[in-house]
């Protein structure tokens, strides 16, 4: 019996194991939404903006490892997804975005709510397709999920004309996918792995740099085994946080522009850099010419285009991170391991000295809340077992520095694109995936307003997301740059009117709490974590506070700025003045 394209779509999604969709309705996809009305095995969660839907699908994908799904209408509905799609593309997140489209007979005629979403998203999708024949729909969906989740993951968009979803065809579900031009390499080259093992065995000052690929590949166990086997310290990119335990003795924390002093110094002084599932982003490398000047570089990545794109590499290994590390660990176990611990004693002693020289720190006060203190308290009360999402800016960097992540898929943040407004809808997606987990969005007062309408989504679906707003009444990271590099000319970064977040939460039917003094921070957090409802926590923080350490733009990563601490005499003089 022939069924409609809308029915084929629903059945195909169920065959792919999809249970949750995030979306927003519109005219050309009403036949799909009509079917969802009575659907028992597939639930759509109505967000308040299409960007929120895509970020929620993204958070769902990062937390679970499965493809997130978003469904929106044509025209502005489709174009509103672009920021979320680009966010996912930059961070290699598997998603399938389904957009409505005007009937095929009207495409190109500037019909009502028509937009060339295929052309618009071609630069920021892994693959996209306009389905013109209903008989090709099931195949297109099967291929979309395969492409989105295999190799280096990424977002795939399917554009669905109204006549395609209303026409009928036989439902034929493909048994498997074969795309002649798409065959990712999973197994690493044996000769290159042997060569890498030889370099690792003789290195006196090696450092592992773990990126987001270690999380995506589910390679945390293999990474930890590798580091402990060879006694090699591990630093992580922003996207790699949680892939290696942050509390481990070999952990150096994050490297790069706002990385730890000891991570950056270790990279710069190393004789061997083992880059795993990362792409040498400019925020990691700083000045390319001055990056790891004395190190030979081994680079493991499933995407061959990421290798040698930014940094020259001595030993490239194309393959899935987990599979390559399994192979590499097997080779290394056959060698004499005691020597590695002996020859690296001096190296680890030097790193320990750097940790003492410039630990991550801040100046605590009894009258003004420091943002780092809030993050530390969140970590202390959650014992590191919460899913943390962030917005973008100072809040993101303080969270990365002071929340020790020991588990993968517990850190959801926009790394490559740096999307303000990402964290809150992403937290909603993660909370839906894990209803019994504590999910906390660490936000800024500027970025939370980008998608604040999604508070209605959290309230309606009873998703107890907690939002910790570090409220400094500024666009803090931009203000920091203006203070340091633009003679304190705060051009358009002072948020003169900031909403009362407590009252706003109440207006949506959520819980609102506020802390204005350090002593109020812990009680507010405890109250928020106890409540089984969405909560906005407004932490009124020191607006002067900056993120340190910091590498100025264009500098080498060991050229770092640190907080200048006032002496008692200087404080006294300032008070007199």
Under a CB-based contact definition with an 8 Å cutoff, are residues 408 and 440 in contact?
no
- The b/e string for 477-502 (b: 16+ C-beta within 10 A; e otherwise) is bbbbebeeeeeeeeeebebeebeebb
Residue 167 carries which DSSP code? S
Mean pLDDT in residue range 456-466: 98
Task: Report how far apart, in Å, the C-alpha atoms of 325 and of each of 188, 302, 318, 357 are.
Answer: 9, 12, 12, 33
User: Is residue 367 scored above 70 in pLDDT?
Assistant: yes
Radius of gyration of the chain (CA): 25
User: In which residue are the tokens 């109204």 written?
Assistant: 162
Alpha-carbon span 121 to 572, nearest angstrom? 58
Mean pLDDT in residue range 523-533: 98
- Give the total residue count for the chain: 577
Is 112 marked active-site?
A: yes
Under a CB-based contact definition with an 8 Å cutoff, are residues 357 and 558 in contact?
no
Question: In the prediction, which pLDDT does 248 show?
Answer: 97
Mean pLDDT in residue range 403-407: 96
- The count of other CB atoms within 10 Å of the CB of residue 179 is 11
Is 113 marked active-site?
A: yes
CA atoms within 13 A on the CB side of 109: 9
Question: In the prediction, which pLDDT does 458 show?
Answer: 98
Does this chain's domain 3-169 share its CATH topology with 371-540? yes
Question: Which of 497, 507, 558, 572 lies closest to 536 in space, CA to CA?
Answer: 507
Phi and psi dihedrals of 256, rounded to 5?
A: 105, -155
- Out of 50, 114, 376, 545, the active site residue is 50
Q: What is the pLDDT of residues 115-149, one digit of tens each?
A: 999 999 999 999 999 999 999 999 999 999 999 99
Question: Which of 295, 289, 239 lies closest to 266 in space, CA to CA?
Answer: 295
Mean pLDDT in residue range 217-229: 97
- The helix/strand/coil state of 482 is helix
- Out of 95, 236, 257, 477, the active site residue is 477
Alpha-carbon span 8 to 171, nearest angstrom? 6
Under a CB-based contact definition with an 8 Å cutoff, are residues 46 and 68 in contact?
no
Is 50 marked active-site?
A: yes
Q: Of 86-100, 134-148, 484-498, 513-527, which range is least confident?
A: 484-498
Question: In the prediction, which pLDDT does 235 show?
Answer: 98
From the options 3.90.1170.30, 3.40.50.1220, 3.10.20.90, 2.30.40.10, give the CATH code of 190-357: 3.40.50.1220
User: In which residue are the tokens 């705060």 written?
Assistant: 490
Question: In the prediction, which pLDDT does 11 show?
Answer: 97
Sign of CA dihedral 533, 49, 153, 199: negative
CATH architecture designation of domain 3-169: 3-Layer(aba) Sandwich (3.40)
Question: In the prediction, which pLDDT does 568 show?
Answer: 53
For domain 371-540, give the CATH number. 3.40.50.970
Residue 504 pLDDT level (bands cut at 50, 70, 90): very high
Alpha-carbon span 476 to 274, nearest angstrom? 34
Return the structure tokens found at 323: 């599979």
Give me the residue spans of the domains in the chain: 3-169, 190-357, 371-540
Q: What is the pLDDT of residues 253-302, one digit of tens each?
A: 999 999 999 999 999 999 999 999 999 999 999 999 999 999 999 999 99
Q: What is the pLDDT of residues 383-401, one digit of tens each?
A: 999 999 999 999 999 999 9
Is residue 38 packed enough to be buried (19+ CB in 10 Å), middle (13-18) or exposed (0-12)?
A: exposed
Under a CB-based contact definition with an 8 Å cutoff, are residues 209 and 175 in contact?
no
Is 162 marked active-site?
A: yes
Under a CB-based contact definition with an 8 Å cutoff, are residues 242 and 350 in contact?
no
More confident residue, 570 or 135: 135
549 prior amide bond cis, ω within 30: yes
| DSSP characters over 138-205 | HHHHHHHHHHHHSSS--EEEEEEEHHHHHSEE-----SS---TT-----SPPHHHHHHHHHHHHH-SS
Question: In the prediction, which pLDDT does 496 show?
Answer: 84
Mean pLDDT in residue range 518-537: 98
- Out of 7, 113, 136, 287, the active site residue is 113
Alpha-carbon span 535 to 33, nearest angstrom? 30
Q: Residue 467's beta-bridge partner residues? A: 441, 536
- Out of 162, 322, 377, 466, the active site residue is 162
Question: Which of 166, 247, 170, 250 lies closest to 209 in space, CA to CA?
Answer: 250
- Out of 112, 485, 486, 562, the active site residue is 112
User: In which residue are the tokens 């001096």 written?
Assistant: 346
User: Is residue 428 scored above 70 in pLDDT?
Assistant: yes
User: Is residue 577 scored above 50 in pLDDT?
Assistant: no
Average pLDDT, the chain: 95
User: Is residue 229 scored above 60 in pLDDT?
Assistant: yes
Mean pLDDT in residue range 43-71: 98
- The count of other CB atoms within 10 Å of the CB of residue 364 is 12
Residue 244 pLDDT level (bands cut at 50, 70, 90): very high
User: Mutual orientation of helices 476-485 and 394-402 as an angle, nearest 10°?
Assistant: 100
Mean pLDDT in residue range 150-175: 97
Alpha-carbon span 271 to 346, nearest angstrom? 13
Residue 571 pLDDT level (bands cut at 50, 70, 90): low
């Amino acid at each position: 019996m022939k069924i409609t394209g809308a029915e084929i779509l629903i059945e195909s999604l169920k065959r792919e194991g999809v249970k949750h969709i995030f979306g927003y309705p519109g005219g050309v996809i009403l036949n799909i939404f009509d079917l969802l009305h009575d659907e028992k095995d597939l639930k759509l969660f109505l967000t308040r903006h299409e960007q929120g839907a895509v970020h929620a699908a993204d958070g769902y994908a990062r937390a679970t490892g499965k493809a997130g799904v978003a469904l929106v209408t044509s025209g502005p509905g489709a174009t509103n997804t672009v920021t979320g799609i680009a966010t996912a593309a930059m961070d290699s997140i598997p998603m399938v975005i389904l957009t409505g489209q005007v009937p095929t007979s009207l495409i190109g005629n500037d019909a009502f709510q028509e937009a060339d979403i295929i052309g618009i998203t071609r630069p920021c999708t892994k693959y996209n397709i306009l389905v013109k024949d209903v008989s090709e729909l099931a195949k297109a969906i099967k291929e979309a999920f395969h492409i989105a989740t295999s190799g280096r993951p990424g977002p795939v968009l399917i554009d669905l004309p109204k006549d395609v979803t209303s026409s009928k065809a036989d439902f034929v579900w493909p048994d498997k996918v074969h795309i002649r031009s798409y065959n990712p390499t999973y197994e690493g080259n044996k000769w290159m792995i042997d060569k890498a093992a030889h370099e690792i065995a003789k290195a006196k000052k090696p450092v592992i740099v773990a990126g987001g690929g270690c999380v995506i590949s589910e390679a945390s166990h293999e990474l930890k085994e590798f580091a402990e086997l060879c006694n090699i310290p591990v630093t992580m990119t922003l996207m790699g946080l949680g892939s290696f335990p942050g509390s481990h003795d070999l952990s150096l924390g994050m490297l790069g522009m706002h990385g730890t002093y000891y991570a950056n110094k270790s990279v710069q002084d190393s004789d061997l850099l083992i880059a795993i599932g990362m792409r040498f982003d400019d925020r990691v490398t700083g000045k390319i010419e001055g990056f790891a000047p004395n190190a030979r570089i081994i680079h493991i990545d499933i995407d061959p285009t990421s290798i040698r794109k930014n940094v020259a590499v001595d030993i490239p290994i194309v393959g899935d991170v987990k599979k390559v590390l399994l192979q590499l660990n097997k080779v290394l176990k056959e060698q004499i391991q005691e020597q590695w611990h002996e020859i690296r004693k001096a190296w680890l002693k030097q790193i320990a000295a750097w940790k003492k020289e410039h630990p991550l720190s801040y100046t605590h006060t009894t009258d003004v809340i420091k943002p780092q203190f809030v993050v530390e308290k969140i970590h202390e009360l959650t014992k590191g077992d919460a899913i943390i999402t962030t917005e973008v800016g100072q809040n993101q960097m303080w969270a990365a520095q002071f929340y020790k992540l020991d588990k993968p898929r517990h850190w959801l943040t926009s790394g490559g694109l740096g999307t303000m407004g990402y964290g809150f809808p992403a937290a909603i997606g993660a909370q839906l995936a894990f209803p019994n987990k504590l999910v906390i969005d660490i936000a800024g007062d500027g970025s939370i307003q980008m998608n604040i309408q999604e508070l209605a989504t959290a309230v309606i679906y009873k998703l107890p997301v907690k939002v910790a707003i570090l409220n400094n009444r500024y666009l803090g990271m931009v203000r920091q740059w203006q203070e340091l590099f633009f003679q304190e000319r705060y051009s358009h970064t002072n948020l003169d009117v900031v909403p009362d977040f407590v009252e706003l939460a109440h207006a949506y039917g959520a819980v609102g709490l506020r802390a204005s003094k350090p002593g109020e921070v812990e009680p507010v957090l405890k109250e928020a974590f106890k409540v089984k409802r969405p909560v906005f926590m407004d932490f009124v923080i020191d607006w002067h506070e900056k993120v340190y350490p910091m590498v100025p733009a264009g500098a080498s990563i060991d050229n770092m700025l640190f907080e200048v601490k006032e002496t008692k005499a200087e404080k006294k003089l300032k008070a007199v003045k």
